[in-house]
Amino acid sequence: MDEKDRILLHLLEENCRTPEEELAVLAEMSEQDVHDRIGRLEKAGVVRRYGAVVDWERAGDGNVAAVIELKVSPERDFGYDRIAERITRFPQVRSLRLMTGAYDLQLLVTGPSMHEIARFVAEQIAPMDRIRETATHIIMKTYKENGTTFAEREEVERLPYSF
């Protein structure tokens, strides 16, 4: 990883549909170099996936999302990793993180209704071994996702000319 890789990653993160030709101009390198570097970053697992940031609320999708906090008793030799690995396998779990502070694991879960999420937590997550406590927080509104603000602000008028 060097500075050029870093620039490419930032550009891809911002818009992964930018053509390689344009990436080459922006990052001051040849198209071949861009192509090779991206291939390498993909292969190394630095670039995990290409996706869109979707405002599902605006898309009219009725999905519900919740942040779930888990207190977990770590296992000898494995810590939190084994239980985390089991939780990641549920497709409802969009993200999973180990946290410092009052609880251990944080899940972002989505489902078609509040009821479904409640059932998922009560029937799938809470009964797992080593889960000591759960707390479910329903997301009411998303203002910003992955660096993108969802609310639209009015453009500020600028002068067309100034020296």
Residues that bind another protein (CB under 8 A): 7, 10-11, 22, 25-28, 156, 158-163
Tell me the closest approach of the beta carbon of residue 35 to another protein, in angstroms: 18
Cβ nearer to another protein, comparing 22 with 36: 22
Indicate left, alpha or beta for 146 from its phi (over 0: left) and psi (-120 to 50: alpha): left
Tell me the closest approach of the beta carbon of residue 158 to another protein, in angstroms: 6
Tell me the closest approach of the beta carbon of residue 139 to another protein, in angstroms: 23
Cβ nearer to another protein, comparing 59 with 159: 159
Indicate left, alpha or beta for 147 from its phi (over 0: left) and psi (-120 to 50: alpha): left
Cβ nearer to another protein, comparing 7 with 108: 7
Contacts of 8 (CB under 8 A, 6+ apart): 23, 27, 34, 37, 38, 41
Tell me the closest approach of the beta carbon of residue 161 to another protein, in angstroms: 4
Tell me the closest approach of the beta carbon of residue 12 to another protein, in angstroms: 13
DSSP 8-state code for residue 134: E
Cβ nearer to another protein, comparing 101 with 160: 160
Separation of alpha carbons 105 and 68, rounded Å: 8
Cβ nearer to another protein, comparing 23 with 109: 23
CA distances (Å), origin 117, targets 98, 109, 136: 21, 7, 9
